[in-house]
A and B are shown apart, each in its own frame.
Chain A
Amino acid sequence: MFSLKKVKYKHILDIDNLNIKKHKVTCIVGESGSGKSTLLRLLNKLISCDSGEIYYENQLLNTIDSVELRRKVSMLPQLPVIFPGTVRDNLLIGLKFAEKLPVGDEKLHYILNLVHLNKKLDEDSQMLSGGEKQRLALGRLILLDPEVFLLDEPSSALDEETESIIIEKLVAYTKESNKTLIMVTHSKKVAHTYSENIIEINKGKVVNFKEV
């Protein structure tokens, strides 16, 4: 699905060859500052590499319209972005950004249930805790129904128990709906329990690629 060839970005990333498979759960692990987030940002085309080539479905990333790409390959940042307004506003704003049709409350409740967030739609989103905001942002992303999910530490603000529940549901959802999931995680447990491929990055280089 994604293939990277001789990709360099500043002094942060230097990837010789990397393939990320379609319909699989891929985890990216490595120490902080190793370039994991930068890799996700490259795939989301939030930044472009200085040299080398990145392909998405055999198409050179530079030749794809960025906005169109991001509607298929959508990303969740490490620090969730919560816009002023209610929980409902925050779920729907993603659809507005991606110029998709709004959905009814029933669907929104389904999403909240999926991300294990027991909140009312009319609740002020600024009052949520860090972990709740993270799940809200995840819900917003799932609602967009992209082909590829790029998640940057989606469970960093969650306790271990909630983390397991969320990741398990997320992986099940990805499988059911034929999606591709690429996530950065610091948790070895998450990586080993749920992923089919593990990419280990150290100082900007891919040091290990494992199929589980």
Chain B
Amino acid sequence: MNSIIHLQLWQMLSAYLFVLILIFIVKLKGIPREKEIFISSIRMTIQLILTGYLLVYLFNTPSPVYTIIILIAMLVFSIYNIIKRAKRNLSLKLKQIIALSMCIGTVSCLFYFLLIVVRITPWYDPRYFIPIAGMLIGNSMTGISLGVSRLVDGMHTHKDFVEGALMLGATPKMAAKQIVDNAFDSAILPTINSMVGMGIVFLPGMMTGQILSGTSPITAIEYQIAIMLGILGSVSLTIIIFVQLGYKTFFNNQSQLIIGE
């Protein structure tokens, strides 16, 4: 195995040429996006540098307290992000259900993955715990975001169908079934699609990272397969909990559809 090429400062800086080219092009075309490109490049740089140093610190002083704090921070950030991204106003109850499904869905899969599949010791080893938690939470966040918008949109745009079914004596569960199924489907689809293209269309980030850092591709692939299955489990569990509890927030205890006008 060749030794890893460490990037020198000037090599890093030369990579920013891509940003300069992009800024040059948008200037030339008169597209007013220079500011966003500039800010996002700076943010990306600073955030990653800080995360790098934070991770170095955490890896050198492993502690269950730090690991749990990081896990909680990731969860809080992801839940905040899901709620912020939703285009419609969400009811308080629905927000609580988003938080609940994210916590149960990701944490249970995370511990199963770390303790049963990878079998890390100690259980809080940040080198494994943090990146894997990040991947499960990140993917579940993307999935549930899609699920939330499909569910809420569906309830609003297909209000007639839901009420039409209720009028004939359908239970709320039956009346909402089509919308719930749709929401589940659209939330899970990106994960399934990415599994289909994996290894052919693109090499996933984690695997690429491991290979670049000198790990044998076979080991990297073993990890990638396991983590993909972990992601699939985490995303589907999160979504299932969300849709099963979520649709109920649109009905009251008299089986009436309640949608804020």
Q: Whose C-beta in chain B lies nearest to the C-beta of A96? A: B174
**A interface residues, tally (CB under 8 Å):** 28
B-contacting residues, A2-40, CB 8 Å:
none
> Which residue of A66, A71, A99 has the most chain B CB atoms within 10 A of its CB atom?
A66
Given A48-B256, A67-B255, A97-B174, are A140 and B160 neighbors across the interface (CB < 8 Å)?
no
A-contacting residues, B128-169, CB 8 Å:
160-161, 163-169
Residue B187 is within 8 A (CB to CB) of chain A in the complex: no
Q: Is the CB of A98 within 8 A of B167?
A: no
Whole-angstrom distance between the alpha carbons of A199 and B148 in the complex? 44
Given A96-B174, A97-B174, are A70 and B161 neighbors across the interface (CB < 8 Å)?
no
Give the distance to chain A from B114, nearest Cβ to Cβ, in Å.
44
Chain B residues within an 8 Å CB radius of A115: none
Q: Whose C-beta in chain A lies nearest to the C-beta of B175? A: A97
B-contacting residues, A48-68, CB 8 Å:
48, 62, 65-68
* Residue in A48, A68, A70, A99 whose beta carbon sits within 8 Å of that of B167 in the complex: A70
Q: Whose C-beta in chain A lies nearest to the C-beta of B171? A: A67
Among A73-81, A161-169, A175-183, A204-212, which stretch is in contact with chain B? A73-81
* Residue in A47, A68, A97, A99 whose beta carbon sits within 8 Å of that of B165 in the complex: A97
Q: Whose C-beta in chain A lies nearest to the C-beta of B178? A: A83
Given A77-B160, A81-B161, A83-B161, are A97 and B168 neighbors across the interface (CB < 8 Å)?
yes
Residue B254 is within 8 A (CB to CB) of chain A in the complex: yes
Chain B residues within an 8 Å CB radius of A71: 168-169
Give the distance to chain A from B154, nearest Cβ to Cβ, in Å.
14
Question: Interface range on chain B: under 10, 10 to 19, 20 to 34, or 35 or more?
Answer: 10 to 19
Residue B170 is within 8 A (CB to CB) of chain A in the complex: yes
Q: Is the CB of B169 within 8 A of A70?
A: yes
Given A46-B163, A81-B161, are A98 and B256 neighbors across the interface (CB < 8 Å)?
no
Q: Whose C-beta in chain B lies nearest to the C-beta of A71? A: B169
Give the distance to chain A from B208, nearest Cβ to Cβ, in Å.
43
Q: Is the CB of A81 within 8 A of B164?
A: yes
Give the distance to chain A from B179, nearest Cβ to Cβ, in Å.
13
Q: Is the CB of A75 within 8 A of B256?
A: no
Q: Whose C-beta in chain A lies nearest to the C-beta of B253? A: A66
Given A81-B160, A96-B174, are A44 and B167 neighbors across the interface (CB < 8 Å)?
yes
* Residue in A48, A77, A79, A144 whose beta carbon sits within 8 Å of that of B169 in the complex: A144
Whole-angstrom distance between the alpha carbons of A67 and B253 in the complex? 11
Give the distance to chain A from B260, nearest Cβ to Cβ, in Å.
14
Q: Is the CB of B160 within 8 A of A97?
A: no
**A-B pairs with beta carbons under 8 Å apart, 17 shown:** A45-B254, A46-B167, A65-B255, A66-B256, A67-B255, A70-B168, A71-B168, A74-B167, A74-B168, A74-B169, A77-B163, A79-B160, A96-B174, A97-B165, A99-B169, A140-B168, A146-B169
